[in-house]
Amino acid sequence: MSTPVLEHPRESDRLDPAAFADAAASERDVAPLRAAIDRSCRGPVLWFFGSAVTWLIIGTVFALLASIKLHTPTFLGSAAWLTFGRVRPAHLDVVAFGWSAMAGLGCLIWLMCRLCRVPLRYPGVLVAAAVLWNVGVASGVTAVLAGYSTGVEWVEFPTWCAFILFIGFALVGLWGMMTFAGRRAGHVYVSQWYLFAVIFWFPWVYASVQILVLVSPVKGVTQESIHWWFGHNVLGVFFTPIGLATIYYLIPKVIGRPIHSYYLSILGFWSLALFYNWAGAHHLVSGPIPAWLVTVSAVCSMMMFIPVTTTAINHHMTMRGHFGVLRYSPTLRFVVFGAMTYTVVSFQGSLMSIRILNEPFHFTHHTIAHAHLGLYGFYTMVMFGAMYYIVPRLTGREWASSKLIRTHFWATAIGITAMFLLLSVGGMIQGFEMNHAARPLGELVKEKGLLDGTGEFFKGFKMKNGAVPFLAIVRDTIPWLWIRSGTGVLMFVGHVAFAVLMLLNLTGRGPKRQGPTLFSKDTDGYQRAFGSEESPAHTH
Amino acid sequence: MSDVTTKPALDPESVAPADGPPEKHDVAALHAPIMREKLDPRDGYEPVPLWLVAAFGILVFWGGWYLATYSGGFRSDVLDEDPAVRYAGMAGNAGGAGGTDPVVLGSRIYSGNCVSCHQQSGQGVPGQYPPLAGSEWVAGSPARLARLILHGVEGPIQVKGAAYNSAMPPLGGKLTDGQVAAVLTFVRTNAEWGNTAGAVTAEQVAAARAATRGRAAPMTEAELLAVTAEDVAPATKPAAGGGAPK
Amino acid sequence: MNHGPLIFLGAFLTFASAWLGLVFFPNQQLKDLQPQAVEGSAMVNPRPYTARELAGRDVYVAEGCSYCHTQQVRGGEYNADLQRGWGPRRSDPQDYVHDNPVLLGTMRTGPDLVNVGARFTGEAGTRWHYLHLFNPQRVSPGSTMAPFRFLFETRKVVGEPAADALRFPADWTAADGAPEAGHEVVPTDRARALVAYLAALDRTYEIAKK
């Protein structure tokens, strides 16, 4: 059965106002289709989003516990299941595979339907995937807390839990390919390339690390090369492409402008595909592995400047002249915050893979700060923005409280910025002290009396070479760890605000609103920024 | 379908059915978020800026240089951040133990093997582990010291007028002759500890090892004190530090 | 860029290149590594783990020790790993041939452990480890290591005290965990296994030049 292929109006059509108007008119007709798509997406996407936000709260609680235990190790110190070595991986796995993955898959599903211009078919398959994913994460986290972690960072879940996750992902992937094959849009938009790539790449990396490191391990340190190829690729070929796909959709969507350059999109996509997944061994600089492995990863990590700069220019030039919209739109504010952070954290990461810049920061809290800037400052903020956009379209209800949205934004934005900056400082201090003599040893000993009375075994302990004693390094990082706990509390407040908003929206409680829930109540300014509601073809 | 227009504007149920081609409805019947949506994302066609291409070209050039310089010939035995890494094709550097200065090597071996009992200060632990600083044993015969390290010590032993009776494990299976010589040199020449004896060579350790080959038990104080004569090296060779005769 | 098959092919080739580079080729280079023989004995370096040491490694993994401790002495000129006495030489791929999983670690909230078995030896080392695991803050003031008191049990002394009951220094109080009179603190099997594993972490042997 032949269905009309719906083309986007192209900028070149401006030269022919009639063609442009026709295209714009056909866009108006797309509104019922959009409504149909949204209605069909409702069950599966809300399953993923609702689960994701629940995991976010749980993961943030684990995060606070881990953070507190780093400076106050006796806090809840007698509970075996909460010992730092278990609650820290529990935090990582919940926020990665619970919150981040499920938020991302929810976005993937909705974006695929919208961009393919077809309503969602076989919702039962996707709901089953969501249920399986929840089961996998819940059982995996329980196993970690009970002491059955595999000991491989990012892959702590026992293999049988990972298998459940794999099946869930495979269901979403198959659905995605079928939906793509049945698309009604003639032109494949850049977001779809990224989502398509995720569907294909993630099962490959996940299966590889499970088989080659856990089930039938390769011998020796090659395990660590594969391990960190996976660890970096969770960010590189799962979360980053979904985040970029979402940004590429939402920025032009909210402001009504085309993406600046199709050619930059192509350059950005293929350079990311080529370079990102070579970068893994930069986690192993100076490690017991062949030097060439670290070098190729360092080179490809630096090559990442290409896709990141390209994407940054594309997004910035699209936004140019419309930054005023950021005052009003929660979606855009979260998404643009994430997009800008993507540029910053990627530049930082590329530079840190050069050996001389890696050595002071390796094994320190600086790395942790960088990881949070990426997975939270970029990806999580983009996911927040996406949920602010998508959920009202699925439930038909606007967000209940502008105040809660403002709380959410400022708490999380200030929280992650402070956490990144201040924890990085702590990590730099840690790294420099670990690598060099920071102060003359005699001065340290006199000042703090650190080395006296540390137990009979170490009486008279003295470092002959002037390096900073390890316990002094620990002592010097503690204030920064306290600050990090504070920023974590702030972020938790933001998450609670968001969870309340989600709950109110999903259950239909809270004040009923007519228009969008925005940051600012200045409706005239909003009208000027967004243009008339009657005109979906927003001309600049 | 015809009664769609009479339904309230915000009722999601008024939306078109999930399948079938889109139909023309009164758009006011569709819910508000859809209504205020802008055009779907579409592509602009601005060209790639030339300066960007040039910048990327420079980056690729840098990458090629870095790859050529720091890959160690793509060998598996050139490990990351060994000096040999800097020069492609150079022989592998398996160890990097800090050059040929036996005192430096010895101090590292000491830190890795001896510090837990004899302490970083060389003072030992009173009543438990004897000191090395100012010890008459350290200043004595290298042949005796080599045997002490190779086979360990058991039983009562007097050091600097105090009695000790702990067991020192043998290290002959773990350390090469060069390493034993280095750590002995480090201890014997350590001025901070008040030790001013001379260096020990790998040949002296090798001779001691050869003279006691097959011995399984640790040394006792009496056996050690009976070692008075220096062992003769099998052939005269210039003293070398840090090497490992195998 | 409108063709699914084209995107698929490109995605496959770009990704396969990295799979070759970071998975396949390293394995080709390193899969035949063997421990090296010690001249004149049946020993190999590194020696394989005993069953108890493997049980101890499972405890190390389960309790997440890798999240604070690395097991690699770094090479290179910019760090102080060797000066800190963490080993006589940098770590080598050969050191890890018996390790499953390889626990290189990524954070140094605590010191490197790959040669901890050479720094803490024999019975004295074992006793230090027990006390330190039981109450790290008391043994190393300022330490932020998690207390692993749950790896020990406090019980009434029945007959003779246990051989490996913890020997508390005289100045430890009940708040530090010292048991009351007539009681002793003994390590559980998990603690014994863990300390056996830590004692086996000794990679100070010299690498034979190939």
In a domain, C16, yes or no: no
Give chain C's largest Cα–Cα span. Answer: 82
Phi, psi at residue B129, to the nearest 5°? -125, 130
Q: What percentage of chain A exceeds 90 in pLDDT?
A: 71
Other Cβ atoms within 10 Å of A181 Cβ, number: 9
Closest partner residue to A293 (CB to CB) among C26, C97, C137 is: C26
Cβ within 8 Å, pair C124-B98: no
Mapped onto helix, strand or coil, the DSSP state of residue A320 is coil
The answer to whether B43 contacts A516, with C-beta atoms less than 8 Å apart, is no
Q: Distances in Å between the alpha carbon of B144 and those of B97, B184, B193, B229?
A: 26, 11, 20, 9
Asked if A296 has any chain C CB less than 8 Å from its own CB, the reply is yes
Nearest to A519 by CA among A238, A233, A326: A326
Q: Is residue C27 part of a domain?
A: no
- Quote the pLDDT of residue C82: 77
Instruction: State the CATH number of the domain containing residue C40.
Output: 1.10.760.10
C74 chain-B contacts, CB cut-off 8 A: 81
User: C14 exposed, middle or buried (CB, 10 Å; 0-12, 13-18, 19+)?
Assistant: buried
**Residues on chain B touching C39 (C-beta within 8 angstroms):** 246
Q: How many helices (H) and strands (E) does chain C have?
A: 7, 4
pLDDT at A26: 59
Rounded distance between C-alpha atoms, residue A264 and residue A262, angstroms: 5
List Cβ neighbours of A133 (8 Å cut-off, separation of 6 or more).
Answer: A48, A51, A97, A101, A102, A105, A164, A165, A168, A169
Alpha helices, DSSP H, located in C68-208: 116-119, 122-134, 136-139, 189-200
Determine, yes or no, domain membership for C160: yes
Which residue segment(s) compose the domain that C179 sits in?
36-200
What residue has token string 């997004």? A315
More reliable by pLDDT, B93 or B65: B65
Q: What is the mean pLDDT of residues A168-194?
A: 91
Q: Tell which B residues from 71 to 110 touch A, by Cβ distance under 8 Å.
A: 71-82, 85, 107
The whole-number pLDDT of residue B36 equals 76
pLDDT tens figures, A206-246: 999 999 999 999 999 999 999 999 999 999 999 999 999 99
Q: Of chain C residues 85-144, which have a CB less than 8 A from chain A? A: 90-97, 99-111, 124, 128, 131, 136-144
Cross-chain Cβ contact B33/A284 below 8 Å: no
Helix or strand holding residue B125 (H, E): none
- Cβ neighbours of B17 in A, within 8 Å: 36
pLDDT at B17: 35
- pLDDT tens digits, one per residue of A395-411: 988 899 999 999 999 99
| C-alpha count within 13 angstroms, C-beta hemisphere, residue A150 | 24
Give the span between the Cα atoms of B93 and C210, in whole angstroms. 10
Task: Determine the average pLDDT of the residues in C49-55.
Answer: 96
The CA distance from B24 to the nearest CA of chain C, in Å, is 29
Q: Is residue C41 part of a domain?
A: yes
- Are A392 and B33 inside 8 Å of each other by CB? yes
- Residue A99: predicted pLDDT: 98
B59 vs A30, more confident: B59
A524 min Cα distance to partner chain C (Å): 41
Name the E strands within C16-83: 36-37, 44-45
- Distance, in Å, from the CA atom of A138 to the CA atom of A126, rounded to the nearest integer, reads 18
Cβ of B24 under 8 Å from any chain A Cβ?
yes
Cβ distance C141 to A471 less than 8 Å, yes or no, reads yes
Considering only CB atoms, which residues of chain C are within 8 Å of chain B? 29-30, 38-41, 43, 74-78, 82, 84-90, 92-93, 115, 118-122, 124-125, 128, 202, 204-210
In a domain, C191, yes or no: yes
C84 within some domain: yes
The mean pLDDT of chain A is 87
pLDDT score recorded for residue A446: 44
pLDDT tens digit sequence for A458-499: 333 334 344 577 888 899 899 999 999 999 999 999 999 999
Q: Do A31 and B37 touch (CB under 8 A)?
A: yes
Residue C206: which of C14, C45, C50 has the closest Cα? C45
CA distance A407 to A496: 10
The vertex-A92 CA angle with A90 and A93, nearest 5°, equals 65
Nearest-CA distance B37 → chain A (Å):
7
- Strands (E) located in A61-163: none
Chains touching B, CB cut-off 8 Å, 3+ pairs: A, C
Q: In whole angstroms, what is the distance from residue A351 CA to residue A354 CA? A: 6
How many CB atoms neighbour CB B192 within 10 A? Answer: 10
- Nearest-by-CA chain B residue for A394: B12
Residues of chain A contacting B187 with CB distance shorter than 8 Å: none
Instruction: Give A62 to chain B, closest Cα distance, Å.
Output: 35
Task: Give the one of C66, C92, C141 whose C-beta lies nearest to A288's C-beta.
Answer: C92
Residue corresponding to tokens 């059509």: A13
Q: Is C107–A204 a contact, with Cβ atoms under 8 angstroms apart?
A: no
* Pair B166, B90: CB distance under 8 Å: no
d(CA A344, CA A334): 15
- Give the residue-averaged pLDDT of C89-112: 94
Give, as one character, the DSSP assignment of residue A259: B
Kindly list the residues from chain B whose CB atom is less than 8 angstroms away from the CB atom of residue C118: 112-113
Q: What is the ipTM of this complex?
A: 0.94
- Window 358-377 of A: residues touching C by CB (8 A cutoff) are 359-360, 362-364, 367-368
- Nearest in space to A66 (alpha carbons), one of A488, A490, A492, A498: A488
| Domain assignment present for C64 | yes
The percentage of chain A sitting over the pLDDT mark of 70, rounded to a whole number, equals 85
Contact status, residue A57 vs residue A496, Cβ threshold 8 Å: yes
Residues of A in contact with C31 (CB under 8 A): 218-220, 222
Whether residue C141 and residue A186 make contact (CB cut-off 8 A), yes or no, is no
Query: Looking at the DSSP assignment, which residues form a beta bridge with residue A185?
Result: A6
Beta bridge partner(s), residue B125: B129
Q: Among the ranges A111-120, B1-10, B23-32, which has the highest mean pLDDT value?
A: A111-120
Domains held by chain C: number: 1
What sign for the dihedral angle of Cα C168, C170, C173, C179? Answer: positive
| pLDDT confidence tier of residue B155, bands split at 50, 70 and 90 | confident
Quick one: pLDDT band at residue B109, thresholds 50, 70, 90?
A: confident
Tell me whether strands C44-45 and C36-37 are parallel, antiparallel or unpaired.
antiparallel
Instruction: Give B234's pLDDT tier (boundaries 50, 70, 90).
Output: very low
Question: How much is the pLDDT for B96?
Answer: 37
Nearest to A27 among B33, B39, B192 (CB): B39
pLDDT at B3: 34
Phi, psi of C32, deg, nearest 5: -100, 10
C6 Cβ partners below 8 Å, 6+ apart? none
A71, A144, A367, A488 from C106: Cα distances, Å: 19, 19, 9, 22
B162 forms beta bridges with B159
Q: Does a structural domain hold residue C6? A: no
Tokens standing for residue A265: 């999109």
* Distance between CA atoms of residues A484 and A480, nearest Å: 6
DSSP letter string over C121-155?
-HHHHHHHHHHHHH-HHHHSTT--PPP-GGGEEEE
- In the predicted model, is pLDDT for residue B100 greater than 60? no
Give chain A positions within 8 Å (CB) of C61: 149-151
Give pTM, 2 decimals.
Answer: 0.80
The better pLDDT of the pair A500, B71 is held by A500
A55, A135, A244, A290, A506 from A49: Cα distances, Å: 10, 15, 18, 43, 10
Residue A521 CA to its chain's centroid (Å): 30
B80, C121: Cβ pair inside 8 Å?
no
End-to-end CA distance of chain B: 93
C41 to A142, A500, B214, C45, C195: CA distances (angstroms) = 47, 69, 11, 11, 26
